[in-house]
Amino acid sequence: MSETPPEISCETCVAACCKAPVNMIMTAKEFKQHKRTMDLRVIVKPTEFPREVPTEDKDRPGHATAGPGLRVPAGFGLYELQSGCANLNDDNQCSIYRQRPMCCRDFEMGSPACLKLRRDAGLDGHLPPLEEDVPFHLRSLTEQLAETFFPNRDEDASTGGDSATNPEPLALAEIRTLAARETAWIASRLGQCDANSWSRRTRCANWDVGALARHLTTTQRFASEALTAIVEGRPAVPPAEFTGDRKATVRAFDRAARDVVRALSQVPPDQVQGKLRIDDEEVEVEHLLQVLAMELSVHACDLADALGEERRLAGDAMKATANALPDLLDPGMAPKGAASYALRSIAFEIPFTWRSNTWLHEAGPDPCRIEGEAEAVLLYALGRQSFEKSDLSTNRPDAARAFKRHLAGP
């Protein structure tokens, strides 16, 4: 897709994507939550298995199109929003923005479907004709998510097999944007903490907010040193673990975060595919960048949870996290419940197999499948959500519950 014209934004729209009949892939929980304010027609109900659903020919209701259907992942159902969404206010703003369904969150501004809907609503007539006139009814919102994760994937590729389909790593410019966004949010919340909130427990084992803040400060100091070493062409020297009281930690995090954002702007793009020596080990720069993005994003959610706020992983954060996960498996932790796993969502399929006393990033026989919404799969894999409180499905519950013991991470 060509670069989005600067005139294209949600602020210049009439919420066209919320007013036309659209296909929505939702969990049973989301359907129950939103069916009172959305005119939803059930096409298929959620099941424990992924499946292809034929797309209806809009000119001949009840008849399937000749083209490919929509892939609905395990744990999701397919629904059609038949008329306008009652959650829109008079200014075409979403009144439930923080609680909107994941498929709405994943709809990409400037995507072919977005541009098509804007044209159908009478907007953008002064712009050149669309390069690709995509029939919107043949594209679900979740397909837009798949394109966000896999921009160069062949149209016939599927996420339903057992092969690895990791999203492409975030580009350097995307890392800069994510780091600036997440560090600014974390700094603002840490600065507002009083003594009581500083001692609140987080969902990270044995950490309160203060311990999480000190860890984030250490992480940012390490990232700043590593990025500077990349620019200067020298080995990196990891800093000592940061210690300090609340006020000192807030100041130190803010300084370190600013240094990271500044250093990211100085890293030459051609160095991203290189390696960096840290002590006696060589680390791929690209992996280092993805882990940095994951650490910031996941710990921002941890902080929000401890402070009683809602914060979810953005699309770029999910891409970085899914890309970094395979390298976080503990090579010394032999499995007890399953010798292979497959983390599955519409956006990725990440297999792990134990072979020759190590974890390999490849498919294995009879894997323990952990399937569902992309964010839920990632947060569960990182130990942020219990299986009982998630909307995930699995073919082997005991093995699924044991997955986090294999995975180091934020």
Dump the DSSP string for 269-296: GGGTTSEEEETTEEEEHHHHHHHHHHHH
250 and 132 belong to one structural domain: no
Q: Does 93 fall in a domain?
A: yes
Instruction: Output the pLDDT for position 64.
Output: 43
Please state, in angstroms and rounded to a whole number, the distance separating the CA atoms of residues 9 and 357.
51
118 and 38 belong to one structural domain: yes
Q: Tell me the one-letter amino acid at 267.
A: V
143 and 250 belong to one structural domain: no
Q: Does 163 fall in a domain?
A: no
234 and 377 belong to one structural domain: no
47 and 68 belong to one structural domain: yes
Cα dist. 408→48, 224, 311, 323, 330 in Å? Answer: 28, 22, 22, 14, 6
Residue-wise pLDDT for 288-307, tens only, equals 999 999 999 999 999 999 99
CATH number at residue 234: 1.20.120.450
42 and 143 belong to one structural domain: yes
Do residues 28 and 391 touch, judged by C-beta distance below 8 A? yes
In 358-401, which residue ranges form alpha helices assigned H by DSSP? Answer: 374-381, 397-401
Q: Does 166 fall in a domain?
A: no
Summary mean pLDDT of the chain:
81
Closest alpha carbon to 223 in 299, 276, 173? 276
Q: Does 39 fall in a domain?
A: yes
293 and 335 belong to one structural domain: no
Q: Does 354 fall in a domain?
A: yes
Q: Does 255 fall in a domain?
A: yes
341 and 390 belong to one structural domain: yes
Q: Which residue segment(s) compose the domain that 390 sits in?
A: 329-406
Question: How big is the chain, counted in residues?
Answer: 410
92 and 222 belong to one structural domain: no
Instruction: Output the pLDDT for position 165.
Output: 62
What pLDDT band is residue 60 in, cutting at 50, 70 and 90? very low
Decide which of 51 and 117 is more confident. Answer: 117
Residue 208's beta-bridge partner residues? 201
Q: Does 155 fall in a domain?
A: no
CA triple 244-247-248, angle to 5 deg: 40
Instruction: Output the pLDDT for position 132.
Output: 53
Angle between helices 315-324 and 141-149 (to 10 degrees): 50
272 and 180 belong to one structural domain: yes
Count other C-beta atoms under 10 Å from residue 8's C-beta. 18
Burial grade of 393 (CB within 10 A; 0-12, 13-18, 19 or more): buried
**What is the chain's Cα-based Rg?**
22
What pLDDT band is residue 1 in, cutting at 50, 70 and 90? very low
Q: What percent of the chain has pLDDT over 70?
A: 83
Is the pLDDT at 137 greater than 50, yes or no? no
Residue-wise pLDDT for 341-379, tens only, equals 999 887 788 888 888 888 888 888 888 999 888 888 999
Decide which of 112 and 16 is more confident. Answer: 16
Q: Does 159 fall in a domain?
A: no
Closest alpha carbon to 264 in 178, 341, 195? 178
Instruction: Output the pLDDT for position 344.
Output: 87
Residue that finishes a domain, picked among 293, 324, 355 = 324
Decide which of 110 and 30 is more confident. Answer: 30
Q: Among 123-137, 204-218, 251-265, which stretch is predicted with the lowest mean pLDDT?
A: 123-137
204 and 268 belong to one structural domain: yes
Please state, in angstroms and rounded to a whole number, the distance separating the CA atoms of residues 332 and 340.
15
Reported as half-sphere exposure (CB side, CA atoms, 13 A), residue 8 has a value of 22
Largest CA distance in the chain: 68
Residue that finishes a domain, picked among 149, 184, 217 = 149
Instruction: Please state the domain count of the chain.
Output: 3
What the block records as the tokens of 140 is: 């679900």
Residue with tokens 């699995």: 394
Residue that finishes a domain, picked among 291, 309, 324 = 324
Instruction: Output the pLDDT for position 123.
Output: 85
314 and 355 belong to one structural domain: no
CATH number at residue 384: 3.30.1050
